[in-house]
Amino acid sequence: MGNIINRNMVKNIASDIESSLKDVEKKYNVKITRGNATFGTSNMTLKMNISKIGNDGTVLTKEASDFKTYASIHNVTSKVGDIINHLGVDYKVIGWKPRSTKYPILMEKVSNGGRYKFPVALLPKKSNPTAKKATRVYNKFDC
């Protein structure tokens, strides 16, 4: 038997592929990141994610483009890249995961770059002046 593909070899090959694509990123103004890899003893499959870079330098990932779509549906006024302060910690809005119903908002902690999920209620929303306000009606009964 020749070389058997193992976890370390997959990591090394993926890193080499990612670093060799830097010229392609510059040429086409995109960001290329590696995704998941699967492998057996004689082959491997590597997923690559390619995202366009916007005029302001932000990477337009699938989550970022989904944020634009779903934010308007939910009347959210924030935009991708906005800084939101939550419990004294600053987070940057980076996207929306529509399949995550409870915590669809993706944010990145400004201090360490960690990714976190938040509920929609955390973001500021547009007020809707045409919406009917909830009123409580009390019935008085004479006994």
Residue ranges per structural domain of the chain: 1-54, 61-126
Q: What pLDDT score was predicted for residue 140?
A: 60
CA distances from 44 to 5, 12, 21, 39 (A): 8, 12, 18, 4
**Mean per-residue pLDDT for 21-44?**
90
In this prediction the pTM is 0.63
Q: What is the pLDDT of residue 132?
A: 46
pLDDT, residue 142, reads 52
Question: Is the confidence at residue 127, as pLDDT, over 80?
Answer: no
Looking at domain 61-126, which of 2.115.10, 1.10.287, 2.30.30, 2.40.10 is its CATH number? Answer: 2.30.30
Query: Which residue has better confidence, 98 or 125?
Result: 98
Q: Considering Cα of 54, then 57, then 61, then 65, what sign does the dihedral take?
A: negative
pLDDT at 64 over 70: yes
